[in-house]
């Protein structure tokens, strides 16, 4: 049922910028005519994602909220993407320059285990750049080549995992910019907990770690989630991604040994992107990286494919296209 509201009291918010995986922070309306609005989602309710998709299919691109809720909405959007840095301000031609400038301080090992707000703001900028990069430059081979040229090990791995996560999600038909930016941010920051483990452990290949050192190493998802929680700016979805990026089907992963159904859907994508990046980019665990096709075979035959089947199928499709010479 429509209600009459003074349009001066309402503001529009692009649907693409809203996160419907969380409960609604305020009432959302659709505008029918200049003064008529329909309440479609109440504060605290969960959105029906199918219904949201239907609105978009019907060319409804904005929802409306009461002007008094503007700050609440801005905070939610800022917590994911940073309103201060709108995507269209980024010069696509200099995308890699933008990335390298923004990431200068990102993964510098500091004397403390804290993540500063500056690091988070930079991460958010990098995240937006990753999503834009994937929109303008989406070939798997290009991404791998670009990432190989980055020196810092943690940064290279984070960037590659970030880009691959977005690529897989897009292949699965995920379109929400907010979701893609969360995936990119989670991908970028997923190993930030490595900053909290001793450097000599971090530097060693996994197969050389003693049992005690391995126990230390395996704390990094939890330590990373803890660091990011303390900042207070990062969405709970991203924190779950960081916490769960080593969880695998059948409870084979760590630190919580979760079953696939209990792993956050974004973390399921991240987990595969993480393993694939490890196999295809040079790093101490894999000094001779595999080509994408052999990496897929390795994940299937050696690792036993402990991933969500739909997520794995999406990556396989991307790799198949690369192998057959089509753009990924």
Asked if 308 touches Fe ion (CB under 5 A), the answer is no
Residue 274 or 308: which CB sits closer to Fe ion?
274
Shortest distance in whole angstroms from residue 18 CB to Fe ion: 29
Which structure tokens are listed for 219?
């704390």
What is the total count of residues that contact Fe ion (CB under 5 A)? 2
Instruction: Show Cβ contacts of residue 279 under 8 Å, excluding neighbours closer than 6 positions.
Output: 286, 289, 290, 295, 298, 299
Residue 44 or 205: which CB sits closer to Fe ion?
205
Residue 171 or 191: which CB sits closer to Fe ion?
191
Helix-helix angle 177-189:117-136, to 10 degrees: 120
Binding map of Fe ion across residues 223-262, x = CB under 5 A, - = no contact: ----------------------------------------
Residue 225 or 318: which CB sits closer to Fe ion?
225
CA distance 246 to 255: 7
Between the CA atoms of 169, 298, 195 and 311, what dihedral angle is there, to the nearest 10 degrees?
20
Query: Residue 168: how many CB atoms within 10 A of its CB?
Result: 26
Binding segment toward Fe ion, per CB under 5 A, in 84-92, 209-217, 273-281, 301-309: 273-281
Residue 165 or 235: which CB sits closer to Fe ion?
165
CA distance 103 to 327: 28
CA distance 314 to 168: 6
Shortest distance in whole angstroms from residue 307 CB to Fe ion: 15
Asked if 274 touches Fe ion (CB under 5 A), the answer is yes
Instruction: Show Cβ contacts of residue 139 under 8 Å, excluding neighbours closer than 6 positions.
Output: 322, 327, 328
Give ∠ CA 294-298-301 in degrees, rounded to 5.
125
Shortest distance in whole angstroms from residue 228 CB to Fe ion: 14
Binding segment toward Fe ion, per CB under 5 A, in 10-18, 117-125, 267-275, 281-289: 267-275
Residue 41 or 160: which CB sits closer to Fe ion?
160
Instruction: Show Cβ contacts of residue 261 under 8 Å, excluding neighbours closer than 6 positions.
Output: none
Three-state SS string over 206-225 comes to HHHCCHHHHHHHCCHHHHHH
Q: Which of residues 56-115 bind Fe ion (CB under 5 A)?
A: none
Shortest distance in whole angstroms from residue 99 CB to Fe ion: 19
Shortest distance in whole angstroms from residue 80 CB to Fe ion: 21
Shortest distance in whole angstroms from residue 187 CB to Fe ion: 9
The secondary element (H helix, E strand) that includes residue 86 is none
Instruction: Show Cβ contacts of residue 184 under 8 Å, excluding neighbours closer than 6 positions.
Output: 127, 128, 130, 131, 134, 162, 163, 165, 166
Q: Which of residues 124-183 bind Fe ion (CB under 5 A)?
A: none
The three-state secondary structure class of 124 is: helix
Shortest distance in whole angstroms from residue 267 CB to Fe ion: 11
Residue 19 or 191: which CB sits closer to Fe ion?
191
Shortest distance in whole angstroms from residue 208 CB to Fe ion: 17
Length of the chain measured in residues: 328
Binding map of Fe ion across residues 181-210, x = CB under 5 A, - = no contact: ----------x-------------------
Residue 128 or 162: which CB sits closer to Fe ion?
162
Which residues contact Fe ion by CB under 5 A? Answer: 191, 274
């Amino acid at each position: 049922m429509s209600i009459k509201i003074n349009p001066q009291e309402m503001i529009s918010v692009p649907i693409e910028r809203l996160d419907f995986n969380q409960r609604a922070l305020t009432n959302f309306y659709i505008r029918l005519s200049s003064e008529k609005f329909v309440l479609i989602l109440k504060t605290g309710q969960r959105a029906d994602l199918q219904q949201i998709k239907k609105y978009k299919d019907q060319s409804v691109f904005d929802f409306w909220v009461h002007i008094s809720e503007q700050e609440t909405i801005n905070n939610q959007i800022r917590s994911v993407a940073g309103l201060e840095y709108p995507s269209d301000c980024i010069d696509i031609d200099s995308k890699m320059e933008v990335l390298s400038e923004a990431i200068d301080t990102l993964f510098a090992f500091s004397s403390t285990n804290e993540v500063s707000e500056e690091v988070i703001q930079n991460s958010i900028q990098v995240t937006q750049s990753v999503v834009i990069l994937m929109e303008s430059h989406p070939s798997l081979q290009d991404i791998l080549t670009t990432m190989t040229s980055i020196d810092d090990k943690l940064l290279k791995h984070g960037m590659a995992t970030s880009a691959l996560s977005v690529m897989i999600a897009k292949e699965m038909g995920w379109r929400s910019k907010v979701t893609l930016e969360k995936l990119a941010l989670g991908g970028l920051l997923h190993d930030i907990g490595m900053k909290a483990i001793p450097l000599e452990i971090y530097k060693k290949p996994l197969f050389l770690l003693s049992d005690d050192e391995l126990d230390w190493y395996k704390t990094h998802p939890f330590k990373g989630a803890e660091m990011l929680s303390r900042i207070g700016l990062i969405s709970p979805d991203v924190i779950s991604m960081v916490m769960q990026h080593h969880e695998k089907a059948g409870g084979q992963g760590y630190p919580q040994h979760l079953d696939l159904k209990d792993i956050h859907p974004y973390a399921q994508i991240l987990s595969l992107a993480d393993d694939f990046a490890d196999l295809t980019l040079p790093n101490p665990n894999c000094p001779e990286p595999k080509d994408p096709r052999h990496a897929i075979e390795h994940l299937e035959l050696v690792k036993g494919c402990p991933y969500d089947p739909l997520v794995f199928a999406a990556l396989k499709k991307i790799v198949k296209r690369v192998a057959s010479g089509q753009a990924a």
